[in-house]
């Protein structure tokens, strides 16, 4: 299920659940259009288009879920339905951020496209001494991004035992209209770079160039904070500390880390509202924010508990500092969250109720028995044992937008069959 088709009359691309974004971009290239997808070419389609989806085009088109005009979904009964603004609109909205939430298996995404204009930009590597200057440039960019929605900017700090350095700081700037040295990046362009690959190229080329290597065990956590330069500086410092902690516990050649800081401007939520809304709850944040992602990669399974514990501590450290500056934001991005976090709970009560009611409405029409006690569990329990805990695949990498609460698995042959089909599919992609 990896087909990608394009309708030039509607300018809509139809994407099945199986491909990676690099394949989608390649399939759409002959039509001279792009879809709003992953910035890493190896990211899977389904989780990205149900959990949020922060693309280089988010300033122009909103998060990727806001570009989905129709989901084709297989319900637990085996019935195939289409969900869009006029047909099953509640389910359509619930799928935009609900990450499956026990609705069924999404088998096709019909998404908006944009003309395939070559991008300008790329990655620059900087000395550690530039970290404060980069933090200031990012925060100022975030405050003014609404004036230049075609531009995207993010920072990352990385430790890799294969590179002869402690940690490396890099910036990524992309102008989706192809403007060279766009004015929105004036501060970023003034920061001295050791090396840069900024140039004009296609979206496919950019995303393939920045693919993260696979094959490792991954632990990742996320937080959202105010757009505060002191918080960004603290994030850099805390990353240096976690690297030293891991070196002491695992050895310098046994792991790698990545610390990503990216703008999350308030106007992203405004775009969503204009397009029919989603259930992420970003509209409640109503301020320009910073989205943080911390990742640890390693090979030895015996380190699972140790690595997870240290990543939790790192997250708590950043959260504590943000709170000390009244800069902690409750909202969490589900596609970056660890299973111990509660991203759906951060969407707000109204959105959580909407997701649950939409799911319950589907079940009631299909006569699928579900223990009533399941529905009265708090949202953290739902995250741990249902919405996040029983996901087939991972968040953005190969997720099939299928989430199966245990109560349903135990009581529904149809859902068990669908789960098996998805598992079989996973092994073939």
| Whole-number pLDDT of residue 215 | 79
For residue 391, give the DSSP letter: B
Average pLDDT, the chain: 85
10 Å Cβ neighbour count for 374?
16
Q: Look up the pTM and report it.
A: 0.85
| Whole-number pLDDT of residue 385 | 37
| Whole-number pLDDT of residue 93 | 95
Contact call for residues 297 and 255 (beta carbons, < 8 A): yes
Q: Tokens 């790698």 sit at which residue? A: 256
Estimate to the nearest angstrom the gap between the alpha carbon of 378 and the chain centroid: 24
398-423 mean pLDDT:
36
User: Which residues, listed in sequence order, are joined to residue 219 by a DSSP beta bridge?
Assistant: 296
Q: pLDDT (tens digit, 9 = 90+) per residue, 256-284?
A: 999 999 999 999 999 999 999 999 999 99
| Whole-number pLDDT of residue 420 | 45
Q: Looking at the predicted structure, is the pLDDT value of residue 51 above 90?
A: yes
188-195 mean pLDDT:
97
Alpha-carbon gap, residue 100 to 120, rounded angstroms: 35
Q: pLDDT (tens digit, 9 = 90+) per residue, 235-250?
A: 999 999 999 999 999 8
Q: Looking at the predicted structure, is the pLDDT value of residue 57 above 80?
A: yes
Percent of the chain whose predicted confidence (pLDDT) is above 90: 74
Which pLDDT band holds residue 126 (cuts at 50, 70, 90)? very high
Domains along the chain with CATH numbers? 1-116+346-429 (3.30.465.10), 119-201+212-329 (3.40.462.20)
Q: Looking at the predicted structure, is the pLDDT value of residue 363 above 80?
A: no
| Whole-number pLDDT of residue 80 | 93
Distance set, CA 250 to CA 96, 220, 306, 307 (Å): 39, 17, 9, 9
Percent of the chain whose predicted confidence (pLDDT) is above 70: 83
359-373 mean pLDDT:
55
Q: Looking at the predicted structure, is the pLDDT value of residue 404 above 60?
A: no
Pairing of strands 12-16, 105-115: antiparallel
Residue 259: helix, strand or coil by DSSP? strand
Q: Which of 89-93, 189-193, 354-358, 396-400 has the lowest mean pLDDT?
A: 396-400
- Of 135, 142, 176, 190, residue with least CA distance to 157: 135
């Amino acid at each position: 299920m990896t087909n990608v088709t394009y309708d030039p009359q509607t300018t809509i691309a139809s994407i099945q659940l199986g491909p990676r974004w690099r394949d989608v971009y390649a399939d759409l290239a002959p039509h001279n259009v792009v879809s709003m997808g992953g910035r890493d070419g190896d990211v899977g389609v389904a989780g990205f288009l149900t959990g949020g989806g922060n693309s280089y085009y988010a300033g122009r088109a909103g998060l990727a879920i806001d570009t989905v005009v129709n989901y084709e979904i297989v319900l637990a009964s085996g019935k195939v339905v289409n969900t869009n603004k006029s047909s099953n609109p509640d389910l359509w909205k619930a799928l935009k951020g609900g990450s499956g939430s026990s609705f069924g298996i999404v088998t096709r995404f019909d998404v908006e496209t944009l003309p395939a204009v070559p991008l300008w930009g790329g990655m620059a590597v900087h000395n550690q001494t530039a970290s404060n200057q980069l933090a200031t440039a990012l925060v100022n960019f975030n405050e003014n991004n609404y004036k230049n929605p075609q531009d995207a900017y993010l920072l990352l700090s990385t430790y890799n035992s294969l590179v002869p350095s402690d940690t490396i700081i890099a910036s990524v700037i992309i102008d989706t209209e192809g403007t060279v040295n766009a004015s929105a990046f004036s501060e970023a362009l003034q920061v001295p770079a050791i090396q840069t690959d900024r140039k004009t190229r296609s979206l496919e080329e950019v995303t393939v160039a920045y693919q993260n290597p696979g094959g490792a065990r991954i632990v990742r956590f996320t937080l959202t904070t105010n757009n505060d330069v002191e918080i960004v500086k603290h994030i850099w410092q805390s990353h240096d500390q976690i690297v030293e902690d891991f070196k002491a516990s695992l050895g310098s050649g046994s792991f790698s880390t990545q610390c990503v800081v990216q703008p999350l401007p308030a106007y992203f939520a405004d775009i969503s509202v204009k397009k029919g809304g989603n259930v992420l709850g970003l509209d409640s944040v109503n301020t320009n924010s910073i989205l943080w992602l911390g990742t640890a990669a390693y090979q030895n399974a015996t380190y699972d508990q140790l690595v997870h514990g240290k990543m939790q501590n790192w997250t708590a450290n950043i959260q504590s500092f943000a709170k000390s500056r009244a800069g902690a934001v409750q909202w969490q991005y589900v596609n970056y969250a660890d299973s111990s976090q509660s991203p759906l709970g951060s969407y707000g009560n109204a959105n959580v109720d909407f997701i649950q009611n939409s799911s319950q409405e589907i079940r009631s029409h299909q006569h699928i028995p579900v223990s009533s006690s399941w529905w009265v569990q708090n949202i953290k329990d739902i995250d741990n044992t249902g919405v996040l805990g029983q996901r087939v695949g991972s968040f953005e990498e190969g997720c099939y937008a299928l989430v199966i609460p245990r109560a349903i698995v135990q009581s529904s042959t149809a859902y068990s069959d669908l789960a098996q089909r998805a598992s079989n599919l996973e092994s073939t992609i």
